Structure 1
Amino acid sequence: MDPWPLRHLVLRTPRLELRPDDDEGLYELVEVAKEGVHDPAEMPFYVPWTDQLPKDGGFGMVQFFWGRRAKLAAGDWAITFLVRHEGRVIGAQELGARDFGVLREVQTGSWIGRKYQGGGIGTEMRIAVLQFAFDHLGARIARSAAWVGNHASNRVSAKLGYVHDGTVAAAPRGERLEHVRLRLDAGNFVRPDWNVGVEGLAECVQLITS
């Protein structure tokens, strides 16, 4: 048995390569985040992690991803795919699940550096993990969420076939905001004219589909 079977997993789209996080890639990701992820006047994340970057230089960010990797187990996992464009890390795309073997549900979350936004890359990387989940893992439902005012994220979700599934209130910066929960059933997924390429699944499929 491989001690870390996820190291073989690769997803490929027309422009992007997605691989589970590794240390060197995480250091690149920190530098992308330092260059800016969103308008500083707004907070698109449920946990305001970007506010900590100027204070700790990315220490907390790297610790968070290490913690996710360390806790990964069959039946309860979250994979952070580092997204590369032309060989450079430009963002992160997460795919996770609990009790996947019974529920057949996954959750997604993502971000890319601000200078890479607006060209459809965010849509392409989410499509990659959705196709991976539905077509290769056998998922039936994908869930996501975004603030009411996060128009870019909500447009992507609507374009791919997600529907609203309620809201929950949160206060990432001490002010009440509405977080919109989103649901996508496999049969409603609006697909592109390409299919994601998947490599290395055989080595880790038992771990993530149990």
Structure 2
Amino acid sequence: MVRVWPLFGLVLTTPRLVLTPVRDEHLPELIDAVLAGIHDPAEMPFTVPWTDAPREVLITETARHQWRVRAGVSRENWTINFAVLHAGRVIGVQDLNARSFPSLRRVGSGSWLTRTAHGQGLGTEMRSAVLQFAFDHLGATSAVSEAAAWNGASLGVSTRLGYAPNGTSLVEARPGEVDVQQNLLLMREDFLRPGWVVDVQGGDAALELLSPGTPD
């Protein structure tokens, strides 16, 4: 399968986590992590309120979403959904995405963790992993992120990694509910790197698929 789809060979390893593009064998644990709960139901941290869906819809749509994302990868526009494994079990997803990447050299990211994995610094660790991969292996020069202005946990991850505020916008979190969204920007030279370096396996094949050149 790695020969057929090189991204399946991509593995990022941090001190506590393993991140690898979601494969079909990850889906049962991934769905379990979704169903166990990601956030307080009274709040909606996502710009698309997908976690409000009924249980039976969440099960099928989680699988469909992963397949759609995988099929949409091209050199110009791509999203990689990494399954995040802790102690060998899937606990969430960290995505890395880009639009017009050959020209802009900019990436974005989004993530979620099952609620039992919150509060352990894992969100910072997994985003740091994909940023190192983007800056040091794919040749990205900047990264963007966003979060609801009330979402201190997500904004805290961004602050710890060196992102700077980049304006705000209004989003409809749920029908009739408007949130202020804080936009963030991180230049490669401002990245606050951790005291460890991510181990990247399968990066050369990913580079051929996602990036037209090598890092500066």
Same fold (TM over 0.5): yes
Runs of 4+ in 1 over 6 A off after TM superposition: none
In 2, the alpha carbon distance for the partners of 1:76 and 1:19 equals 19
| Residue pair 2:137, 2:207 contacting (<8 A) in 1 also | no
Matched, 1:58 2:59: yes
| Residue pair 1:49, 1:61 contacting (<8 A) in 2 also | no
Which residue is 1:129 aligned to? 130
Which residue is 1:185 aligned to? 187
Matched, 1:207 2:214: no
- Secondary structure of the residue aligned to 1:26 is helix
The TM-score normalised by the length of structure 2 is: 0.94
User: 1:39-188 residue pairs with structure 2 within 5 A?
Assistant: 39-174=40-175, 175-188=177-190
In 2, the alpha carbon distance for the partners of 1:189 and 1:108 equals 14
**Which letter does structure 2 place at the counterpart of 1:37?**
I
In 2, the alpha carbon distance for the partners of 1:30 and 1:126 equals 21
**Which letter does structure 2 place at the counterpart of 1:204?**
A
Q: How far did residue 53 of structure 1 move? A: 4.1
- Secondary structure of the residue aligned to 1:74 is coil
In 2, the alpha carbon distance for the partners of 1:58 and 1:145 equals 26
Which residue is 1:38 aligned to? 39
Q: How far did residue 207 of structure 1 move? A: 1.0
Matched residue pairs, number?
210
The TM-score normalised by the length of structure 1 is: 0.97
Task: Point out the more displaced range, 110-119 or 51-60.
Answer: 51-60
* RMSD of aligned Cα (Å): 1.2
* Structure 1 alignment gaps of length 5 or more: none
Q: Deviations over 1:22-46 (max 9, x none)?
A: 1121221111010010001000001
**Which letter does structure 2 place at the counterpart of 1:194?**
W
